[in-house]
Amino acid sequence: MAKVTGLGGIFFKSRDPAALGAWYARHLGLNVEEWGGVRFNEDAQRPGYTLWSPFAADTGYFGPGAQPYMINFRVDDLDALLAQLRVAGVEVDERIDQSEFGRFGWIVDPEGTRIELWQPPA
């Protein structure tokens, strides 16, 4: 039986893709490539990767209408990253959730998108 083997990408609209890419590079350390996106290789033993890439706000790629989404980034030290983002002036939600799935915090990017940061359990 054929099945899904991983996430192929995260694609979304942006008012200013280049500026938003620069913000994510500066504040979250994403390695934004020349073409405007980020390639995540989660398992070097398997082909494929996950992509992160903003699209122009008027793109037709997603079809007509608004497309809601949520981005969740895995992080290695939630407390340190949230502290670093606060110092940089990024909007940080004061709430942190903890469960058997790990710890979760939230920030808001310059376009008003709520981003979830996840530190998996040790």
What's the pTM value of the predicted model, to 2 decimals? 0.74
User: Do 78 and 110 reside in the same domain of the chain?
Assistant: yes
Q: Which residue has the tokens 């903003």?
A: 54
The answer as to whether 62 is a domain residue is: no
Q: What are the pLDDT digits (tens) for 96-120?
A: 999 998 898 989 899 888 888 888 8
Output the CA torsion 117→77→20→31 (10° steps): -120
Residue 2 is predicted with a pLDDT of: 45
Residue 46 is predicted with a pLDDT of: 59
Domain count, the chain: 2
Where a domain ends, among 57, 83, 103? 57
67 pLDDT band (50/70/90 cuts)? low
Q: Which residue has the higher pLDDT, 52 or 1?
A: 52
The answer as to whether 89 is a domain residue is: yes
94 pLDDT band (50/70/90 cuts)? very high
- Written as one string, the DSSP assignment of 33-68 is -TTS-EEE-S-TTSS--EEEEEEETT-STT-SS---
How much is the average pLDDT of 53-58?
83
Share of the chain above pLDDT 70, in %: 79
Q: In what order do the strands lie in the sheet with 10-14?
A: 10-14, 50-56, 38-40
Domain with 3, as residue range(s), is 1-57
The answer as to whether 114 is a domain residue is: yes
Task: Give me the CATH number covering residue 119.
Answer: 3.10.180.10
The answer as to whether 48 is a domain residue is: yes
CB 116 within 8 A of CB 104: yes
